[in-house]
Chain A
């Protein structure tokens, strides 16, 4: 068949292009990817195996498709925690052999997971532009206060973290947030709270958007990834971060099940889990390192800007992975219904 011949021809052409021993590492892109390039990809490449960097938005559908087709072209992937746990149960990721990575005890609590090893701690914070707000907001209750802080505000379009912020703004203490959110009444309460500011909201989806929207004056306050705000600060933007009420979580390195370059993938993960390399990363973008020794050796001023700095942890909330694995599908669907109305 003509098509078949052509398809074979094309496949062989492309295979010729792709048949390299390079390691494909997929992460979330943006400022973080730049830091990863500097801290991990370049120096690891110097040891012999070149890294081809790619980015995605966390959609697990692509990985599922690859694994099920037994045609895995991504070797190492940066994954968020609920996706990691779910993917691990569904067999999307290799169960890690820690003897090939390092000593479990060297890593901070929560970093060691069955299918992934934490690579950094990031935080979703309240951010604002100091030049546009006369008075500094200090909590999510201020975010909800449209009298005191008039203007549009922005949240990530999704249930994850948005519902937590709503409950925090409604006066639920951080320790009880997930307990309340697990009940039907608590969910109704969170959505009712969101109703209050719905007319003032503009949603963001990509991490690069909040600093842009803040800098352009489209919104006066926004939830944002702390690293993106730091990158904007470096460029001279007068943005500020409120750590109180921030939600922090790990991102993990994971290996899609059936990766043909598993050994190299392990080597890369081991390399990227060394304290000296994590320190380079965290110096470039303020996401907390996961190797206990990496924090110890850091410049004090830089360390104070990390989500893991003790001062920043007061009033902060650890994201509850198990909760989002359980309720994610349901709540995201409900959130969609709510947002679309």
Chain B
């Protein structure tokens, strides 16, 4: 090794620098040059991927609507003891700030945010803003309740104070079906409105079912591929890879063709006399499970195959020759060696299923929509980005925990073959 080599210290260049130092310098500058190659991509991913996701997650606790548009009112409310009505200064400030916000997007933001806390506050705010400004010298504390009695209720002001905190747990709590009641305690949502825990459980259950189906179908397939001669197994591989490379939308369309009421599957069922009327196979869980299993099956076959390919057939032969019956030796000798492949494939499929959006959206009914659907719903339909962010946080957390588990136990992914949807 270099340390034991005295020549490296003995040899010096014209300036008297030892060769060891020069070599180290050269090595360092080479490393720096290579590190510089990573920089463009690192910056790119940071700016257009990591940053957007971080700021999305920040939105799940951000609470800007009242904080930015009613700052003085909120400051004045600080002194209010949460009992009875706030003092005249609060009312005056509020009336002035509301008037200033009138006719601008600010008033809509305030109204909308308050309406989320308590339905009905939107029209209260809009109606009140239309009646402003108050006459000169008028007492806002008397005038506002005259416009609407709700301004004379303690509850209204509590809501404003709550909705005005700089950060809010409102969205994150809603994402797990919790809310704060009038006294600020965290309570479960009433039955009719609770939804996301169900959706989360459903997302997990559906992913689990799809994973199980993939394993059930994928294991025999991978096993046969691993044991057949190369020429035949290559043919099977192409049959696995062809759908794998085919667009997901093409496959979804194909399943619609097969599963629709007049589709081939129903025609076959009726021709076989198994049913008289078409069976509903689309827009329910059947369609979603069938298509998701179809799309994700290769992801369990490929890792399983590569693991099985590495298992020497000698083990099985040895077990059999030692008198262990074939089934038992398969179960006791072969199967345990495939566990890493099963684990890797299963986790991968599970992680990918959890984020599915397209397949349930096109082939499922409302009962099959997973958490992704609700993220998209809040983003596009109601423009409630806080809620979309909170649900994203829940989904991302679940995914990352599973992924950490995956990379911990199954090493770096053979990602060259993976295609997430």
User: Do A and B form a real pair?
Assistant: yes
What residues make up the interface of A, taking CB atoms closer than 8 Å to B?
Answer: 1-3, 59-62, 64, 86, 89-91, 157, 188, 191, 202-203, 216-218, 322, 325-330, 332-334, 336-341
Interface bits B275-295 vs A (CB < 8 Å: 1, else 0): 000000001000000000000
Q: Does B194 contact A (CB under 8 A)?
A: yes
Which residues of B are found within 8 Å of A336, using beta-carbon distances? Answer: 195, 366, 374, 377
Are the C-beta atoms of B126 and A89 separated by less than 8 Å? yes
**Known contacts A336-B374, A340-B198, A341-B367: A202-B283 contact under CB 8 Å:** yes
A81 CB, min distance to chain B CBs, angstroms? 16
Most buried by A among B115, B194, B260: B115
Query: Given A61-B379, A89-B107, A217-B261, does the pair A329, B40 have CB atoms closer than 8 Å?
Result: no
A216, A329, A340: the one within 8 Å of B199 (CB): A340
The CA-CA distance from A21 to B379 in the complex, in Å, is 31
Taking the closest CB of chain B, its distance from the CB of A124, in whole angstroms, is: 18
Q: How far is the CA of A336 from the CA of B377 in the complex (A)?
A: 10
Task: Name B's A-contacting residues (CB within 8 A).
Answer: 40, 43-44, 104-105, 107-109, 111-112, 115-116, 119-120, 122-123, 126, 192-195, 198-199, 202, 260-262, 283, 365-367, 369, 374, 377, 379-384
A59 near B262 with CB under 8 A, answer no
Tell me which residues across on chain A come within 8 A of B116, comparing CB atoms: 329
Across the interface, B115 reaches (CB within 8 A) one of A90, A329, A340, namely A329
Cα distance, A90 to B202, chains bound together (Å): 36
Given contacts A1-B40, A3-B40, A86-B108, is CB(A340)–CB(B369) below 8 Å?
yes
What is the CA–CA distance of A325 and B382 in the complex, to the nearest angstrom? 11
Give Cα A202–Cα B287 distance, bound, in whole angstroms.
Answer: 14
Q: Which 5 A-B pairs have the closest CB atoms?
A: A337-B195, A339-B366, A91-B105, A90-B108, A89-B108
**B198 touching A216 by the CB < 8 A rule?**
no
Closest residue on chain A to residue B262 by CB atoms: A216
Instruction: Say whether B119 contacts A203, CB under 8 Å.
Output: no
**Alpha-carbon distance A287/B200, docked complex (angstroms):** 42
- Residues of chain A within 8 A (CB-CB) of B43 are 1, 3
Give every chain A residue within 8 A of B365 (Cβ-Cβ).
202-203
Q: A61-B383, A90-B105, A340-B198 are in contact. List 16 more A-B contacts (CB 8 A).
A: A1-B40, A1-B43, A60-B383, A62-B380, A89-B105, A89-B111, A91-B105, A188-B192, A191-B192, A202-B283, A203-B283, A216-B260, A333-B193, A337-B192, A338-B192, A339-B366
- Identify B193's interface contact among A2, A89, A337, CB under 8 A: A337
By secondary structure, the A interface counts as helix
CB atoms of A91 and B367 under 8 A apart: no
Given the known inter-chain contacts A202-B283, A327-B119, A329-B115, please indicate yes or no for A157 contacting B366, CB distance below 8 A.
yes
Are B108 and A326 neighbours in the complex by a CB distance under 8 Å?
no
CB neighbours of B198 from chain A (8 A): 340-341
- Contact sample, A vs B, 11 pairs, CB 8 Å cutoff: A3-B40, A203-B365, A216-B261, A326-B119, A329-B384, A332-B381, A336-B366, A337-B194, A338-B192, A340-B199, A340-B369
CA distance A205 to B228 in the complex (A): 48
Q: For A326, list chain B residues within 8 Å (CB).
A: 115, 119-120, 122-123
Closest A residue to B122 by beta carbon equals A326
Residue in chain B with minimal CB distance to A92:
B105
Name the CB-closest residue of A to B119.
A330
Residue of B192, B193, B382 near A329 (CB, 8 A) is B382
| CB closest chain-B residue, reference A334 | B193
Q: Name which of B43, B122, B381 has the most chain A CB atoms within 10 A of its CB.
A: B381
Q: Return the chain B residue nearest A204 by Cβ.
A: B283
Contacts of A188 in B (CB 8 A): 192
Given A91-B108, A327-B119, residue A218 in contact with residue B384 (CB < 8 A): no
CA distance A325 to B108 in the complex (A): 11
In the assembly, what is the distance between CA of A336 and CA of B119, in Å?
A: 17
Chain B positions within 8 Å of A325 at CB level: 122
Q: How far is the CB of A325 from chain B (nearest CB, A)?
A: 8
Rounded to whole Å, the gap between the CB of A51 and the closest CB of chain B is: 25
In the complex, A91 Cα to B198 Cα: how many Å? 37
